[in-house]
Amino acid sequence: MPPKNKPQINQSKITAKKFSKNVTSAPVVSSPSRSSNLFSHLLIVVPVLILTWIVFLPSLQNDFTNWDDDDYLVFHTYVQELSWENIKKIFSSFYQGNYHPLTTLIFMLNNHFFRMIPFPYHLQSLILHILNSALVYVLFFIIFRRKDVSLITTLFFSIHPMHVESVAWVSELKDVLYTFFYLAALIFYVRYVQNDKGKKGNYILVLFFFILSLLSKPAAIIFPLSLLCFDYLFKRTLSFKLAAEKIPFLFAAFLFGVIAIFAQQSSESISDFGIHTVTQKIMFVSYGFIAYIGMLFIPVHQCFFHPFPLLVNGTRFPYIYYAAPFIAAVIFLFVFIIFWHSFRRSHSLKAGDFSALQLQNPLMEFYRIIVFGFLFYFVNLILVLQIIKIGSAMMAERYTYVSYLGLFCIIGYGFLLLSDRNGNYFKTIRYILIVIFVCGTVIFSYASYTRCKAWKNSVSLWSDFVVHYPKYHDGYYFRAESLTQVKEYERALDDYNMCIRLKPQQANAYIYRGNIYGTFGKADLSISDYDKALKFDSASFDAYVNRAITYSMIKEYGKAFKDYEKAYALKPDNINLLINYSYALIEQKQFEMAQKLCENILSVNPSSEQANLYRGICRFNTGKTDEAFDDFTKCLQINPSNSAALLNRSLCFKARGDYQKAMDDAIKSKNLGNTINESYLSELKMMMNTGMTKPAQ
């Protein structure tokens, strides 16, 4: 009796021959209708997208942070007003060492419509991430024509904890935005390769979305190498045509690469490793390469900032860094062996035809997919492995947002390979894989949901850093800064103390701790900290200014003026300095010098509330009542609730003999909380009751 599965084997061979005759694209399995086929896809991908929404839901409740959000949204003058002039500046200039005008333009639109409300910013990032997940499904389905491969790849891309940073961090809008266009370009490239019809249109769309991706984030310059990875996957033959079709992409990548270098140099973001040797550089690059792979499977020790390692006992780095180059070399060797084995035994599958792989030689094709996935991972990571040092972080989780797709693809196709095998052994393996898949989904979903909360605000973000890197002073320093902003001065003081303990020469930590002591009314401790700051940084502008303010508070004006003069020599145009310096001069009745400083401010910023007020005080005390009146009125136009301006304008009205208006301003000032001498109010009432009028002019 013949084996039961013999007809199935024969049928497989026949099917394989049919697939080998296909000359244009991967065959499509027949279905009852296009609408039912679409419904089957939606039945798979929509639950994944809903799960993604739920997993990242906590990010919608997050605030902005002081990790770049303030620079890109608060201090970036171009995004403050929607105008053609600002749009031109966005596309023609650099900011913070970056050139991503499309991202900045979106920030401008957000600011115009929503101002500084965090929710819309977080919502747009989450929506883009969900759209990217849908594009990932489309991309891998049109490659493999397998829903299971596409599902697994999409699911892990959507919920992986390493991707939280790209979604929950407002400033990383550029990451999800450039990826959206990047994936769209890859989809049209696959269509370009697979289909003979519409090639020109698909090619133009690839280039179009690539340009948009470049305008969103410079990381897209690696796109031409990603195309070569797909050429390898599709077994495209090296030819002049293959090289020629890449020229526009290489040109655009080169152009934006040069722009990116100039942008980075404009803020001195590109630097050498400094004290690190060549051997140590290799160690760090290798560690980053293998750490990203490790965190794909076990995403532990997550943090928004991974600094370079500290020396153990001041003599060596942790042992893993010495082992990293050898581990990386083994991984590369393993992939090369697979590549060579696959290359020698490659069969003649039609370019782009993956729907029949499981019928012809699935293991050989899996080898090819391993090489493809590894290359895609590597090329999309190579710019951020700190081969050229950019910034102070050794690695960052957002760099895996695109690069992990290559590794997810390997996992998805590996699952397909094992699940399609027959026999009790593979049946058991299949059940084990399903359990792993379900458990991984639950664990990753929970981890991402929890990870979103680390981005709640600046305090939670730096607290997370302190947990993972307790021996780095930076975490305590920036958390203290964040705590100070929300007026948790006691906790901030503890963090500054810890920062100074870890790095005693940190001048700014002494300055800000001194400011907190000043808030507590401990002027002696404030001055002591400012002295220490100047010991470590003799040209510290902030130390001189804050010490001068403190001396003024305790009426030691001689010392205050010396510090103001030193600060003025360092930054003569600093508004904060000029305001405080002029106030101290007014306290010492040096009105002419104070007025001069106020006029310096007003020549730059005519709408300075304090400068108008102080100049008015100077003018009033030098007999220029009418000019003083104008200054106080201008101050009140800027801020109608300025109680000091109301009181001083009341004095001007009194000097003019307009006692009713003098009384009105005095009462308004008192109602705003200003302390008004009752004898002054009584004097005004007496003058009003006796019918005294304005003196003749």
Least confident of 31-35, 86-90, 213-217: 31-35
**Confidence tier at 34 by pLDDT (50, 70, 90):** low
What does the pLDDT look like over 292-345, one tens digit per residue?
999 999 999 999 999 999 888 878 899 999 999 999 999 999 999 988 887 766
pLDDT at 54 over 90: yes
What does the pLDDT look like over 111-170, one tens digit per residue?
999 989 999 999 999 999 999 999 999 999 999 888 888 999 999 999 999 999 999 999
pLDDT at 28 over 90: no
Q: What is the pLDDT of residue 311?
A: 86
Reported as half-sphere exposure (CB side, CA atoms, 13 A), residue 133 has a value of 29
Q: Is pLDDT larger for residue 6 or for residue 267?
A: 267
Is-contact 65 457, C-beta < 8 A?
Answer: yes
pLDDT at 346 over 70: no
Q: In terms of Cα–Cα distance, which of 72, 65, 115, 68 is closest to 95?
A: 72
pLDDT at 269 over 60: no
Q: What is the pLDDT of residue 351?
A: 46
DSSP state of 72: I
**Confidence tier at 37 by pLDDT (50, 70, 90):** confident
Q: What is the pLDDT of residue 81?
A: 87
DSSP state of 423: S
pLDDT at 72 over 60: yes
pLDDT at 29 over 50: no
Count of beta carbons in the 10 Å neighbourhood of residue 562: 14
Q: What is the pLDDT of residue 549?
A: 95
pLDDT at 441 over 80: yes
Token pair listed for 363: 């293991």
Which burial class, exposed, middle or buried, applies to 228 when counting CB atoms under 10 A from its CB (0-12, 13-18, 19+)?
middle
Written as one string, the DSSP assignment of 454-499 is HTSSHHHHHHHHHHH-TT-HHHHHHHHHHHHHTT-HHHHHHHHHHH
Average pLDDT of span 583-611: 94
Q: What is the pLDDT of residue 355?
A: 46
Mean pLDDT of the chain: 88
Q: What is the pLDDT of residue 275?
A: 67
Is-contact 637 645, C-beta < 8 A?
Answer: no
Taking CA atoms, 9 is separated from 14, 360, 422, 495, in Å, by 9, 11, 12, 70
What span, in angstroms and rounded, lies between the C-alpha atoms of 96 and 68?
Answer: 9
Q: Under 8 Å CB-to-CB from 627, ≥6 apart: which residues?
A: 616, 619
What span, in angstroms and rounded, lies between the C-alpha atoms of 461 and 139?
Answer: 34
What does the pLDDT look like over 376-385, one tens digit per residue?
999 999 988 8
**Confidence tier at 280 by pLDDT (50, 70, 90):** confident
Helix (H) or strand (E) holding 307: strand 306-307
What does the pLDDT look like over 397-419, one tens digit per residue?
999 999 999 999 999 988 877 77
- Token pair 């500290």 is found at 310
**Confidence tier at 466 by pLDDT (50, 70, 90):** very high
Average pLDDT of span 239-268: 89
What does the pLDDT look like over 173-226, one tens digit per residue?
999 999 999 999 999 999 999 988 889 999 999 999 999 999 999 999 999 999
Per-residue three-class SS string for 99-115 = CCHHHHHHHHHHHHHHC
* Total-model pTM: 0.85
